Amino acid sequence: MTDIVLIALGAALINNFVLYYFVGICPFIGVSRRVEMAFGMGCAVTFVISIAALLSWTITVFVLKPGAPLTTYLAGFFMSSKDAANVDLTILCYTVYIFAIASSVQFVEMYVRKFYPPLYKSFGVYLPLITTNCAILFACLTIMSHVVGVDNPADTWDLGRSMTLAVFGGIGFTIAIVIMAGIREELQLCDIPKAFRGAPIALIVAGILALAFMGFTGVNNGLRKALTPAPVTVQTASMNAEAAKTN
């Protein structure tokens, strides 16, 4: 439970996708002129990021990582079972993820257009743009780095933790882009030097926002201390033992 809270807060506020990791800057600058548009974009990204995280976690655990069940089973037809358990397909992960994201976005778009026309009208137009949004791929890669090559089995992310990262990362993106759009609506009333109109002033505003979000770093440290007293450590230790047993 503790790490779920930490992951959620970390993704949404402390290490905000846009203002800390710089992913998803293109829509952040491009679609942040009006608040409703920004909110639509944010919802669409949250939606797609959740689907992509679900897909990438499933693919990584069942197909790509060393000793994944599906790969081991299929490889068992061609080689001894000992070799089959060592087949490692992680090198394919980038190609597989980008393909999964692109095709799922395509399917979601078709589905939404057919069955929920009002929803399609409100955010469907942003869907194709999202395929090349780095935030989606970034979430998949973060999940992968916590699933593959983790020494301690208890630290390996399960589906719950992965989905928490994705959903709250999307919410963090929405928060950032809506704040940005609010500021930019006011900026239209300002007398900005000609050379700085448009993207330059938006970037400077984003810099000031990022400064404000840096304040959450302190929250992270305090929260970690507050949420991990002695009893929790004992509990995690017993959980570790359990996980080791099941492995």
Partner 1 sequence: MAEGPTPLERFIQGILPENPVYRQLLGMCPTLAVTNGLKPALTMAAAVAFVLFCANVMISLLRNLLQPHLRIVIFTLTIATFVTIADRFLAAYVYQMSKALGPYIPLIIVNCIIIGRCEVCASKQSVVTAGADAIGQSLGFALALASLAAVREILGTGMLFGIQVLPAAWPDWGVMVLPPGAFLTFGLLLGIANWLSTRKSGNR
Binding-site ranges for partner 1 (CB under 8 A): 19-26, 29, 91-92, 94-95, 98-99, 102, 131-134, 136-138, 141-142, 145, 193-196, 199-204, 206-208, 210-211, 214
CB of 149 to partner 1, least distance (A): 12
Classify residue 74 by its DSSP letter. Answer: H
CB of 195 to partner 1, least distance (A): 4
Q: Give 85 or 102: the residue with its C-beta nearer to partner 1.
A: 102
Q: What Rg, from alpha-carbon coordinates, does the chain have?
A: 21
Q: Give me the amino acid identity at 165.
A: L
CB of 196 to partner 1, least distance (A): 4
In angstroms, the Cα distances linking 132 to 68, 126, 135, 207, 238 are 28, 11, 9, 23, 42
Rounded distance between C-alpha atoms, residue 65 and residue 196, angstroms:
48
Q: Give 220 or 236: the residue with its C-beta nearer to partner 1.
A: 220
Classify residue 175 by its DSSP letter. Answer: H
Classify residue 126 by its DSSP letter. Answer: G
Q: Give 37 or 130: the residue with its C-beta nearer to partner 1.
A: 130
CB of 212 to partner 1, least distance (A): 9
CB of 104 to partner 1, least distance (A): 13
DSSP string, 183-243: HHHHHTTS---GGGTTHHHHHHHHHHHHHHHHTHHHHHHHHHHHH--HHHHHHHHHHHHHH
CB of 113 to partner 1, least distance (A): 16
Q: Give 125 or 134: the residue with its C-beta nearer to partner 1.
A: 134
Q: How many CB atoms lie within 10 A of CB 174?
A: 21
Q: Give 204 or 237: the residue with its C-beta nearer to partner 1.
A: 204
Q: Give 9 or 89: the residue with its C-beta nearer to partner 1.
A: 89
